[in-house]
Structure 1
Amino acid sequence: MIFEALPTTPRSEELIDKAFSRAARTGRAKSGVEAQQSMLQTAGNILSDNLENVVTEWPDFGVVDPFYRELADAVLRREMGTRTADDGTEQTGVDALRASLSEVTWASRQVEEIQREYNAKLRKTDAETARKHRKQAFARMADVVEEIEADLLRVGEARDALRDLPDIRPDEPTIVVAGYPNVGKSSFVNAVTRADNEIARYPFTTRGIQIGHFERDHIRYQIIDTPGLLDRPEAERNDIESQAASALAHLADAVLFVVDASEACGYPLDAQLDLRNAVAERFDAPVLTVCNKSDRSRDVEADAYMSVSEGENVDAVLDLAVETVDWESDLPSR
């Protein structure tokens, strides 16, 4: 997953202490102007390189798959609130994170500029003046790093918020399973996928998102049940949950909407179909209506009928989903 390997973001105080303590050790090995030059170079390199690394370790949100970008935006909006820019405008989500990363880049370049400025000064002076110049450079570098303390904190908080998102692969054909609770979604996913299904943390649901996998014709499919998102009407979701549901729309190649015509799930059939229609409006992918518990009732017009509990027609429903996805393999034909 693209956010999983993000490193810990240093605090400004931690970074300054690291740079200056190593510079001091470097300076003790030399004397005179050369010692001050060595200290300046060591501190400047550590600060600028570490700040640059904070930024380059993050993926470019301009090219991140739309699913993960929108999901990340929803997570950050929920977890981190707003950032006030220099012009007074408020930024949220990915926009706020990108602004903080931009400030860290600015700080890295400022440190480099200070280093170049004082390197030139140190070449033209005596040891005592060189020491004063080096101390001035350190003070200015520290001011720059301290100025972006809030941005470093935001980047670190963003890393903590995003690193445990579920490992969903946008490059794999994906079937999203939707429908009201207790209609048999999880039972279907368990029935058609491998035994190592993942129950992953998902920041918008009271239960874990269920991710299963299966293979057809050497193609690996992922099938996803998202309790807490696509199992209730839009009006019952808050703005962040609604955005997370929109993120899934970027991911799905087909949606299986499971209904229970017997209404044993506890929800009237009309309400289930209204939710089905709302899901169909949100998703560009084809939405298949699947009537589960067909041994109890088939009193609904559906694309397929099955009974997971009785093992009836389950594989046929999966076949229909694969046919609907119509995924073209990258493998050369024989």
Structure 2
Amino acid sequence: MIFEDLPTTPTSEELIDKAFSRAARSGNAKSGLEAQQSMLQTAANIMSDNLENVVTAWPDFEYDVDPFYYELADAILDVSIAHSDGSGDDEPTTGVDALRQSLSQVSWAGRKTREIHEEYQSRLRKTDIDTARKHRQQAFARLADIVEQVDEHLRLINDARNELRDLPEINADEPTIVVAGYPNVGKSSLVNDVTNARGETDSYPFTTTGIGLGHFERDHIRYQIVDTPGLLDRPPQERNEIESQAVSALEHLADCVLVLLDPSGECGYPIESQLELRDAIEDQFENVPVLTIGNKADRSRDVEAEYYMSVETGENVETVLEAAIEAISYEPELPFDG
């Protein structure tokens, strides 16, 4: 997953301590002007390299992050930190925008540490040892000040890393069927029945239950089938703002939505409420095929649906899957053969 291997981001204090302690060791190995130059070069290189590595470890959200993960990340990053634009007017920035601004500030700090290094190294070459020591101390103070200025941004970046690294691993490039409907209508049973999904569960950070994720193949094409408890199992008005944004992210992932209904009423929700949820999902996923499936057909078919099935008995399950595959009409990219 794109955020899984992000490294821990150091705080300003950790970075300064690391740089100066390494610099002291390098200075002890030399003497005179050479020692002062070595200390400055070591400290500046450690600071600039670490700051640049913080930035380059992250993918480019504009070009490298699939829209599904972009919106999901934006939903999860509930940070709200005022970033100054230099005009004196601070406006709160949230989500991915706040993260990108923090990465930009850290990138700036990396450049500044290199500039300070270049400025003071030229001074150290043209002076006596006592003056060189003073210049090196001044450089250290300025380097520390630059790193301390971005401490808030370093902490925000590390918080974002901790929140995003545990996102469920879903392949946004694979054709995907999303299963929706009220609890107990048979969604997880369907996912488990048609795939090897048992145990393939993980949680979005903002839901209390794990998603169901499975895979199956048809004609050498692998399909994902996803159940999202906590998101598409209740009406939109019952979702909080973050959950609503996560549903918007699912619009980028879903190639087909199966809305399961339980006309038997055993799920505990009246069929009228189930149909209202179906209508809301159709409105939300207006650019995606949405199929209405009457499950538990061995007990009741007292609802108008496009297909009827029973996961428990296996009746028409394959028919429903084939209908979803046909609705997706996925065409794999073939190599150009001239």
Aligned amino acid, residue 173 of structure 2: D
Counterpart for residue 299 of structure 1: 302
Question: Structure 2: how far apart are the matches of 1:117 and 1:201?
Answer: 50
Aligned amino acid, residue 71 of structure 2: E
User: Is contact 2:23-2:40 (8 Å) kept?
Assistant: yes
The yes-or-no answer on 1:290 pairing with 2:286 is no
Aligned amino acid, residue 82 of structure 2: T
Counterpart for residue 49 of structure 1: 49
TM norm structure 1: 0.96
Question: Structure 2: how far apart are the matches of 1:49 and 1:172?
Answer: 37
TM-superposed deviation, 1:196: 5.0
The yes-or-no answer on 1:272 pairing with 2:270 is no
Q: 1:326 aligns with which of 311, 325, 329?
A: 329
SS of the aligned residue for 1:257 comes to: strand
SS of the aligned residue for 2:214 comes to: strand
SS of the aligned residue for 1:194 comes to: coil
SS of the aligned residue for 2:315 comes to: coil
Question: Structure 2: how far apart are the matches of 1:315 and 1:330?
Answer: 26
TM-superposed deviation, 1:298: 1.1
SS of the aligned residue for 1:190 comes to: helix
Question: Structure 1: how far apart are the matches of 2:336 and 2:48?
Answer: 51
TM-superposed deviation, 1:310: 1.3
Aligned amino acid, residue 191 of structure 1: D
Q: 1:177 aligns with which of 152, 157, 179?
A: 179
Runs ≥4 in structure 1, deviation > 6 angstroms? none
The yes-or-no answer on 1:187 pairing with 2:206 is no
Question: Structure 2: how far apart are the matches of 1:36 and 1:91?
Answer: 42
User: Is contact 2:197-2:213 (8 Å) kept?
Assistant: no
User: Is contact 1:204-1:229 (8 Å) kept?
Assistant: no
TM-superposed deviation, 1:150: 0.9
User: Is contact 1:204-1:244 (8 Å) kept?
Assistant: no
Offset from partner CA, 1:256-278 (integer Å, 9 cap, x none): 00001122211111111111111
Matches within 5 A, 1:201-216: 201-216=203-218
Offset from partner CA, 1:17-37 (integer Å, 9 cap, x none): 111111111111211111111
Question: Structure 1: how far apart are the matches of 2:101 and 2:332?
Answer: 39
SS of the aligned residue for 1:220 comes to: strand
Offset from partner CA, 1:20-65 (integer Å, 9 cap, x none): 1111111112111111111111111100010000011011111211
Question: Structure 2: how far apart are the matches of 1:189 and 1:241?
Answer: 22
TM-superposed deviation, 1:141: 0.2
Matches within 5 A, 1:235-254: 235-254=237-256
Aligned amino acid, residue 20 of structure 2: F
SS of the aligned residue for 1:85 comes to: strand
Counterpart for residue 263 of structure 2: 261
Task: Give the number of equivalent residue pairs.
Answer: 331
SS of the aligned residue for 2:207 comes to: coil
Counterpart for residue 14 of structure 1: 14
Cα distance change on mapping 1:50 and 1:210 into 2, 3 Å = same
Question: Structure 2: how far apart are the matches of 1:91 and 1:332?
Answer: 43
Counterpart for residue 23 of structure 2: 23
Counterpart for residue 117 of structure 1: 119
SS of the aligned residue for 1:157 comes to: helix
TM norm structure 2: 0.95
Cα distance change on mapping 1:236 and 1:153 into 2, 3 Å = same
TM-superposed deviation, 1:326: 1.0
Question: Structure 1: how far apart are the matches of 2:47 and 2:234?
Answer: 50
User: Is contact 1:255-1:287 (8 Å) kept?
Assistant: yes
TM-superposed deviation, 1:331: 4.7
Runs of 5+ unmatched residues, structure 2: none
TM-superposed deviation, 1:192: 0.4
The yes-or-no answer on 1:83 pairing with 2:81 is yes
Question: Structure 2: how far apart are the matches of 1:195 and 1:50?
Answer: 40
SS of the aligned residue for 1:120 comes to: helix
Runs of 5+ unmatched residues, structure 1: none
Matches within 5 A, 1:101-140: 101-140=103-142
User: Is contact 2:188-2:227 (8 Å) kept?
Assistant: yes
User: Is contact 1:190-1:197 (8 Å) kept?
Assistant: no
Q: 1:144 aligns with which of 131, 141, 146?
A: 146
- CA RMSD between the two structures: 1.4
Question: Structure 2: how far apart are the matches of 1:132 and 1:173?
Answer: 63
Amino-acid identity (%): 67
TM-superposed deviation, 1:14: 0.8
The yes-or-no answer on 1:73 pairing with 2:74 is yes
